[in-house]
Amino acid sequence: MIEKALTGDCSGLWGDCSGLWGDCTGLRGDCSNLWGDCTGLRGDCSNLKGDCSNLKGNCTCLRGDCTRLWGNCSGFKGDCSNLWGDCTDLRGDCSNLKGDCSGLKGYCTGLWGDCSDLWGDCTNLKGNCSGLRGDCTNLLGDCSYFWGDCSSLKGDCSGLLGDCSSLKGDCSNLLGYCSLLWGDCSGLRGDCSNLQGDCTDLKGDCSNLKGDCTGLKGYCTDLQGDCSDLWGDCSGLRGDCTSLRGNCSGIWGDCTNLKGDCSNLKGNCSNLQGDCTGFKGDCTDFRDDDSFQWGKF
């Protein structure tokens, strides 16, 4: 059978398109009444619009602007590298999709699934990422508009930037350079051992964080909470630690740039070095290898 390119306005069409195949580049109109398996279709879908809820199949060969599509894309699978446009009205499970999402924009609130095979610049995406899971190693861009529970995400977040104020969850599986992140980290919990970079713009309650802070640097002025579970070399930290509390026995390094009231801190200070001129408070609970320290700074 000779394949011919399909053309024309499909607005008045309805029915099961499972038996169709070929190049849909010339099609335009509203596909809301179409359903079935689109596996055999290929081409540019830029002129299509409507509800794609009933469509299923492999979209690997499709390309074009999906701005005017809406509906549940749960049945789609394949490589979305050639799709672009506003995905605001799309919803469903993206577990079977893969490819470069650089051209997509819009709210991803209704999307869920495993994003392990997605890569690209997510700068224009926004919404609730609570349902996403997988390896975010290849994602980059501004995450300022993302919120939700990042507990299921893992990978190297080095390429992400933006305000993480609305993110929450267990960051135990995250690693990477956090220099470009800012915002309130109060909702984060887990092991931050694999994070490194300048945390100058981070603020919030670090009570639920634990791990090796060796790779962190920056002002800790806006941080508060219990640092009992933190350990590592804090030489790169600077600022006012007045709001910190807990056991700092596992901390070492040069505290020259730190200042503030250490009354709430306790532990073994043998590993600390530097100028304590800027410190104030009661150091009764501090001790070194040989004896307790007491008194006021």
> CA-CA distance, 282 to 297, in Å (whole number)?
7
Residues 6+ apart with CB under 8 A from 44: 24, 25, 63, 64
In a domain, 269, yes or no: yes
22, 39 contact by CB (below 8 A): no
Query: Structure pTM?
Result: 0.76
In a domain, 98, yes or no: no
In a domain, 209, yes or no: no
In a domain, 197, yes or no: no
In a domain, 255, yes or no: yes
One digit per residue, pLDDT tens: the chain, 297 residues?
445 667 888 788 788 888 888 888 888 888 888 888 888 888 888 888 888 888 888 888 888 888 888 888 888 889 988 888 988 898 899 889 899 988 988 988 888 899 889 899 988 888 998 888 999 899 899 989 989 998 999 999 999 899 999 999 999 999 999 999 999 999 999 999 999 999 999 999 999 999 999 999 999 999 999 999 999 998 998 999 899 899 988 989 998 998 999 888 888 888 888 888 888 888 888 777 554 444 455
Residues 6+ apart with CB under 8 A from 283: 262, 269, 293, 294, 295, 296, 297
Phi, psi of 89 (to 5 degrees): -95, 5
Among candidate residues 207, 236, 194, 242, the one with its CA nearest the CA of residue 221: 242
In a domain, 234, yes or no: yes
| Residue 255 neighbours by CB distance under 10 Å | 23
Q: Which domain holds residue 231?
A: 219-297
Counting the structural domains of the chain, the total is: 1
